[in-house]
Structure 1
Amino acid sequence: MPDLLIELFSEEIPARMQTKAAEDLRARLTEALVEAGLTYAGAAAFSTPRRLALTVQGLTGQSPTTREERKGPRVDAPEKAIEGFLRGAGLTREQLEIRDEKKGQVYFATITKPGRPAAEIVAEELDRIIRNFPWPKSMRWGAGSLRWVRPLHSILCILTDEAGEVKVVDLDVDGIRAGNSTEGHRFMGAGRFAVTSFDDYRTKLRRAHVILEAEERAQHIWQEASNQAFASGLELVEDSGLLAEVAGLVEWPVVLMGRIDEAFLGLPPEVLQTSMKEHQKFFSVKNPKTGRIERFVTVANVETADQGATILAGNQKVLAARLSDAKFFWENDLRTVQAQGLEGMGAGLAHVTFHNKLGSQADRIARIAALAREIAPHVGADADLAEQAAKVAKADLQSAMVGEFPELQGLMGRYYAAAAGLPAEVAAACQEHYSPLGPGDAVPSAPVSVAVALADKIDTLTGFWAIDEKPTGSKDPYALRRAALGVDRLVVHGQLSVKLLDVLTGSFNRVGIAISETASQNKQKLGGINISGGAFQVLPEVDGRRVDARAVNLLSFLHDRLKVHLKDDGIRHDVIDACLAMEGNDDLTLLVKRATALADFLKTDDGENLLQGFKRANNILTQAEAKDGVEYSYGADVKFAETDEEKALFAALATAEPAIAIALKSEDFAGAMGAIAALRAPIDAFFTAVQVNAESQVIRRNRLNLLSSIRHICLQAADLTRIEG
């Protein structure tokens, strides 16, 4: 059984594309080989800046001969139908077999497909894959029609059998003929060389200064950089994304550490780190005692006689120019803050449009400030500080530093707020109000930060809801799903008691005013939105409150995001639905407590068995009510109980109902579930010993009313009818 080795050698492949391209090559070729009838023992793909490589071990030498039987038309079928069957089968009429069936004589074809050599199959499939490779971007060069991410120079494609005999696969792709040779490092290699197997290929590449495995290159870079930093009493700043990218830029990594000029050490460490990463692909090295970034690590792709001194000198010169720009931005921004304050820095946001239907960034900041003040008491924040923080939280968007490095927004706001002498809570909120940015991002816990973060996300959601720019399918251009998940996580993580329908309704009112004012200023009608600015859309009262219809719709969207989040935490969707059906579901903290308690309860034997007892009671009751045309909810009387089990159930229900009510009032959902669990045994005993549909109509009605008591009491904790199973 031969081993297959493929290498596609080209000009430099962008680092971000290499890993996926190697995996695409492996997946597409192995799937094609299997579909063609070949099997293999294992496969592995590799990438470097100039090559994609694939090894397939234990490949069968030939596909098996196959026999396929096809049923055709009847013998007396129209001639055209028979001819079509013959064309599809590739046979003549003499090669068909006639068999007797119930509806008459029918033609059958036996199609034999002889096996094919592995080399022939590999050549055919690899040619197709190369010509249709899924690069995000590709190019043509010269006079050929082939497209590749960068000009493709050579193809290595060999089959090596167990005896070590090498066969070059006969393949020609747009004039590039497959061979058994490749070349090593662009500068330190010694020309092309032939290989006989994957092990030979990997060994000779290393001699030619090419490390084939991306993981090994990354590990070497990290280990060498860490060692050099440690030797200087410093610490390498971890950056897995940069490490993966740099490992895709070099075939023979040479790690060099340089110094940052003293003039730039006063810059915020995040500025230094971002500038070096984005512009130079440098790793940052910090002093663990001071937290300052003092040195950098660069990775060259070539060894030099002066041990990299010339490379470092050039890099330090370019870095100094970059950091001079950063220093200028920093000092200029500080002068602006000191002269005008942080609100002065952000004054220009009045001329920056947030959305043509929602006004400017300054309009939005005013809405967020009012909403943050409203939310503050619910999160334990000082209302004045929350409003102050909201007014300056986005001021750094007007800074020169954020203009150069947008990824530093928020963080620079914190520095500028501190420089302006604002309270620490305000400075923290400038940075943290953007969080959480995703499912894995940290959730702020400082009350002022939470108030501003919630206000920011809720204004975004209500604004785009009001102008009917909701997410559709996979499209979510304004990241509203992320904003909704952010609201969910802020509330649940902080265990905040917030009635979201009230907050959303207030926000919709403010947004409506903004829409009206913007429409008036622009003198244009808003598509799909009333010119009055999406005024209050009245709904019947919800839990005794007057709310906006759009707030109810948006709350449903928040619930959907929360369901996804809780599902990741192991809470089933039907459990969440059972809790969403209860009153007060706009208090997400309460909702999650209820769902968690119910999920834990249903994992127990008591919970599982009680659920079955409840469903049995509900089914019997529902059927009887439908049949009789009445509702059995007027209370059962223990004086009509005939059996001990029936009397015991009356007693258990009488004990459980007040205990459940007390637990629910104090939001002790675990206690409520415990009280419900006490009903399991008497309900089981009741159904074992008692026939509900007794001959006596008085007894039957009393027992149905007893089942109604079971349903009523159990439904106080959650809508168990929504639980599956």
Structure 2
Amino acid sequence: MTDFLLELRCEEIPARMQLKASEDLARLFTEELVKAGLKPESIDSFVTPRRLALIARNLPLETAAVSEEYKGPRTSAPAQALEGFLRKTGLTQDQLEERDGVWFAVVNKPGRATAGVLAEAVPTLIRAFPWPKSMRWGVASQTTESLRWVRPLQGIVAILGDDLVDIEIEGVKSGYATLGHRFHHPGEITIGSAHDYVEKLRACHVIVSHQERQSIIEAKANEAAAAHGYTVIEDKGLIAENAGLTEWPVPLLGDFDPAFLEVPPEVIQLTLRINQKYFVLRDAAGKLAPAFICTANIEAKDGGAAIIAGNRKVLAARLSDARFFWEQDRKTKLEDHAKKLERITFHEKLGTVADKVERVAKLARWLVEEGIVKGADADQAEQAARLAKADLVTEMVGEFPELQGVMGGYYARAEDLPAAVADAIRDHYKPIGQGDEVPTAPVTVAVSLADKLDNIFAFFAIDEKPTGSKDPFALRRAGLSIIALIGQSEIRLPFSKVGPQYLALLAKQIACRGLEPSGYSSFADDIYQDWLAGRPITRNVDGSISRVNNEGGRMLYSNELAPLIKYAADVHDAVMASGPGVLPFLADRLKVQQKEAGVRHDLIDAVFALGGEDDLVRLLARVKALQSFIVADDGANLLAGYKRAANILKKEGVETAEKVELTYAPEQAEADLIAALDAAEPRATAAVTAEDFEGAMAALATLRAPIDAFFESVTVNDADPAKRTARLALLARVRDAVHAVADFSKITG
């Protein structure tokens, strides 16, 4: 048993690709060895900016001999089938074995030298390596058959034990030599075996372990910050990135002019982190410190003074640009910035960002005026909505798109706009993802909710819904955000009644894409209200559209108004509970969101299947009450009784419960069940109306014993047709009573 070292050296590998490449090297190498019957005891993988490497521990010097058996065609099969089988196995017919009329081939494969296996495996994995981006180089790049690698491949070290494994690919031959640190040890290093690889490179100022370089950067950065009374703002991603930029990391602390701190701290943080890859520091008071930590790739003779000075100079230029953007953007009011949104297309079928802003403003106001979002000022909600996207056209957000919303909040404060408006502008994108802060300030909630509702309603209206794994407009994330906002503030939002004026405006905007909108504005609300009220709209023989007006007369619309009517209907259909609309979509998102809370998805289906429930807060309250009920004995037994009743009714084709007058004296268990239903049905219905779902479950629980007794002693399919009909009707009453709370047929178990 011996160890194998493989190093693939090239020009600088992008930091973001290194860790995945290291994992892929170990995976592909293992897969190639498994094909040959080899399995290392373990694999240690390494990566630096200039090399990918691994050490496979305890490999045998040769593979074991193996015997493989293949089942072939029947002996009576056509000759062509036998010929194909022989070609596949490389045997002749006299080498086959016949068992019970079937041909079998036993192929014995002798053991092979491990060095030979490796000489074949390494070029294969190099050619198959899955770099996100790769390149060809040199004369060979003139053909598409040439090697592709992330950067030009310059050297291969392949040593099994003490012996070199001969490998050549595109003129690059394996050898014992590699290179150390680009500056500290630019000459060649001779590697004797896997055992001295890590330490020989360390002696030449190369730390091959990415994890070790991360630990060094984190520890020394914290030490440097603490020495000046600062703390490093934790950033694991930046630590990993700096480890991917260096082979010998040396964190150095520098400072910048405190005058730059007048720029919003988020801008300074992004300038340091994104543009310069610097660590950001806080002072003892927790405020942003006028200092930074950069990571050098060299142990400088002057202690890093020149490096710090150079980085300070570059950073000053960057921060000067940021301060210039900050000052220039504030010279223009947000409402004037917002006018430029007409130049930005939101979606070709949904118009500009200015069109979206108009819709969101109407919807935000409606949410407040209807009392859906409580405690907010309607004027402030509309104002915040109209200004929320204005910073998209500012210089600062152009430089740092990550600051959209944040900069708008700063600019709003600089204009002395109300604090609630500035906060809403800043936070209206939240929550962005799982675990993100969920706003609770009323004006912010109104704008954030309106913004996300508009995304979903608008894209559903133009049939741009998520499909499979594709969600180009992040509607699933928007759905989760809506659920989080509603749940956090317990907002009672009737989705099927979302602001008619908003939906009419959306319909008008869609219908008028590329048309002159002025002729439509006076009809939009009327048309949409017709659809809400269910008044018939028909297409006439000549292609024109007409509808019945409030007085019962017919009003004629010309052909050119047909698109508006059609889109009004489409928008309306997009928010209905049935079909692939917004409500089923949000119910699916609710399952995802509640999974972590331990809420069963089948119970959400059970409540949602009843229809008519478009209030997610109420729906979830009903689901949680149902979950508590169903795990108790009463609930579990009632579910069993319900399913037995439902199965009988399904078999007999009984769809609805009909009132049946008894023409016979009911058995005791039958009479008891009738009495229990007479008492439980109104109690359950009243409790559901009062949103006392625990009370509704308690009312249903009283049916458990009578149902059990009924099935124990009463024959449903009695020979007497009158008894049979009455008892089926009684079971239908049981089913319908349970359905007042949830559709138990959707509950598993």
Is the 1:272–1:293 Cα contact (8 Å) retained in structure 2? no
User: Do the aligned partners of residues 661 and 78 (structure 1) sit closer, same or farther apart at CA in structure 2, a change above 3 Å counting?
Assistant: closer
* SS of 1:370 mapped into structure 2: helix
Is the 2:591–2:601 Cα contact (8 Å) retained in structure 1? yes
Map Cα deviations across residues 14-36 of structure 1 (whole Å, 9 max, x no partner).
01111111111112221232233
Which position in structure 2 is the counterpart of 1:437? 432
2:693 to 669, 673, 676: 669
Is the 1:638–1:650 Cα contact (8 Å) retained in structure 2? no
Q: What is the CA–CA distance in structure 1 between the aligned matches of 2:99 and 2:224, rounded to whole Å?
A: 82
Is the 1:333–1:400 Cα contact (8 Å) retained in structure 2? yes
Which position in structure 1 is the counterpart of 2:544? none
Q: Is 2:236 the counterpart of 1:240?
A: yes
Q: What amino acid maps onto 1:579 in structure 2?
A: V
User: Do the aligned partners of residues 374 and 76 (structure 1) sit closer, same or farther apart at CA in structure 2, a change above 3 Å counting?
Assistant: closer
Q: Is 2:67 the counterpart of 1:42?
A: no
User: Do the aligned partners of residues 582 and 251 (structure 1) sit closer, same or farther apart at CA in structure 2, a change above 3 Å counting?
Assistant: same
Q: Is 2:373 the counterpart of 1:379?
A: yes
Which position in structure 1 is the counterpart of 2:152? 151
Is the 1:349–1:361 Cα contact (8 Å) retained in structure 2? yes
Measured after TM superposition, the shift of residue 423 of structure 1 is 0.8
Is the 2:457–2:571 Cα contact (8 Å) retained in structure 1? no
Q: What is the CA–CA distance in structure 1 between the aligned matches of 2:91 and 2:716, rounded to whole Å?
A: 72
Query: Unaligned regions of 5+ residues in structure 1, if any?
Result: 161-165, 524-528, 540-545
2:638 to 610, 624, 643: 610
Q: Give me the TM-score of the superposition, normalised by structure 1.
A: 0.89
Q: What is the CA–CA distance in structure 1 between the aligned matches of 2:568 and 2:134, rounded to whole Å?
A: 54
Which position in structure 2 is the counterpart of 1:542? none
User: Do the aligned partners of residues 586 and 595 (structure 1) sit closer, same or farther apart at CA in structure 2, a change above 3 Å counting?
Assistant: same
* SS of 2:220 mapped into structure 1: helix
* SS of 2:515 mapped into structure 1: helix
Measured after TM superposition, the shift of residue 310 of structure 1 is 0.4
Which position in structure 1 is the counterpart of 2:220? 224
User: Which deviates more from structure 2 when the two are superposed, residues 17-26 or residues 654-663?
Assistant: 654-663
Q: Is 2:319 the counterpart of 1:323?
A: yes
Is the 2:217–2:295 Cα contact (8 Å) retained in structure 1? yes
Q: What is the CA–CA distance in structure 2 between the aligned matches of 1:447 and 1:220, rounded to whole Å?
A: 46
Which position in structure 2 is the counterpart of 1:543? none
Q: What is the CA–CA distance in structure 1 between the aligned matches of 2:37 and 2:325, rounded to whole Å?
A: 64
Which structure 2 residues correspond to residues 574-613 of structure 1 after superposition, within 5 A? 574-613=602-641
Q: What amino acid maps onto 1:159 in structure 2?
A: L
Is the 1:505–1:551 Cα contact (8 Å) retained in structure 2? no
Q: Is 2:667 the counterpart of 1:642?
A: yes
Which position in structure 2 is the counterpart of 1:368? 360
Q: What is the CA–CA distance in structure 2 between the aligned matches of 1:606 and 1:19, rounded to whole Å?
A: 54
Which position in structure 1 is the counterpart of 2:18? 18
Q: Is 2:274 the counterpart of 1:278?
A: yes
Q: Aligned pair count? A: 697
User: Which deviates more from structure 2 when the two are superposed, residues 315-324 or residues 353-362?
Assistant: 353-362
Is the 2:7–2:52 Cα contact (8 Å) retained in structure 1? yes
User: Which deviates more from structure 2 when the two are superposed, residues 108-117 or residues 23-32?
Assistant: 108-117
Q: Is 2:648 the counterpart of 1:620?
A: yes
Q: What amino acid maps onto 1:535 in structure 2?
A: I
User: Which deviates more from structure 2 when the two are superposed, residues 450-459 or residues 529-538?
Assistant: 529-538
Q: What amino acid maps onto 1:609 in structure 2?
A: N
Which position in structure 2 is the counterpart of 1:409? 404
Which structure 2 residues correspond to residues 639-718 of structure 1 after superposition, within 5 A? 640-643=665-668, 645-718=669-742
1:452 to 447, 453, 477: 447
User: Do the aligned partners of residues 254 and 472 (structure 1) sit closer, same or farther apart at CA in structure 2, a change above 3 Å counting?
Assistant: same
Is the 1:514–1:533 Cα contact (8 Å) retained in structure 2? no
Is the 1:86–1:93 Cα contact (8 Å) retained in structure 2? yes
Which structure 2 residues correspond to residues 238-387 of structure 1 after superposition, within 5 A? 238-289=234-285, 291-336=287-332, 341-376=333-368, 377-380=371-374, 381-387=376-382
Which structure 2 residues correspond to residues 78-93 of structure 1 after superposition, within 5 A? 79-93=79-93
User: Do the aligned partners of residues 416 and 207 (structure 1) sit closer, same or farther apart at CA in structure 2, a change above 3 Å counting?
Assistant: same
> What RMSD, in angstroms, separates the aligned Cα atoms of the two structures?
2.8
Q: Is 2:462 the counterpart of 1:467?
A: yes
Q: What is the CA–CA distance in structure 2 between the aligned matches of 1:231 and 1:115, rounded to whole Å?
A: 62
Q: What is the CA–CA distance in structure 2 between the aligned matches of 1:57 and 1:17, rounded to whole Å?
A: 25
Q: What is the CA–CA distance in structure 1 between the aligned matches of 2:732 and 2:51, rounded to whole Å?
A: 72
User: Do the aligned partners of residues 62 and 385 (structure 1) sit closer, same or farther apart at CA in structure 2, a change above 3 Å counting?
Assistant: same
Q: What is the CA–CA distance in structure 2 between the aligned matches of 1:622 and 1:429, rounded to whole Å?
A: 53
2:490 to 495, 501, 509: 495
Which position in structure 1 is the counterpart of 2:588? 560
Q: What is the CA–CA distance in structure 1 between the aligned matches of 2:118 and 2:434, rounded to whole Å?
A: 43
Map Cα deviations across residues 436-457 of structure 1 (whole Å, 9 max, x no partner).
2223322211111111112112
Q: What is the CA–CA distance in structure 2 between the aligned matches of 1:70 and 1:293, rounded to whole Å?
A: 71
Map Cα deviations across residues 334-360 of structure 1 (whole Å, 9 max, x no partner).
232xxxx32123222233333333333
Q: What amino acid maps onto 2:640 in structure 1?
A: Q
Which position in structure 1 is the counterpart of 2:538? none
Map Cα deviations across residues 684-714 of structure 1 (whole Å, 9 max, x no partner).
3433344333444444444333322321221
User: Do the aligned partners of residues 633 and 132 (structure 1) sit closer, same or farther apart at CA in structure 2, a change above 3 Å counting?
Assistant: same
Q: What amino acid maps onto 2:67 in structure 1?
A: R
Measured after TM superposition, the shift of residue 722 of structure 1 is 1.4
1:480 to 475, 479, 482: 475
Q: What is the CA–CA distance in structure 1 between the aligned matches of 2:680 and 2:33, rounded to whole Å?
A: 66
* SS of 1:40 mapped into structure 2: coil
Is the 1:492–1:592 Cα contact (8 Å) retained in structure 2? no
Measured after TM superposition, the shift of residue 57 of structure 1 is 2.6
Q: What is the CA–CA distance in structure 1 between the aligned matches of 2:232 and 2:649, rounded to whole Å?
A: 69
Q: Give me the TM-score of the superposition, normalised by structure 2.
A: 0.86
* SS of 2:139 mapped into structure 1: coil
User: Do the aligned partners of residues 198 and 637 (structure 1) sit closer, same or farther apart at CA in structure 2, a change above 3 Å counting?
Assistant: farther
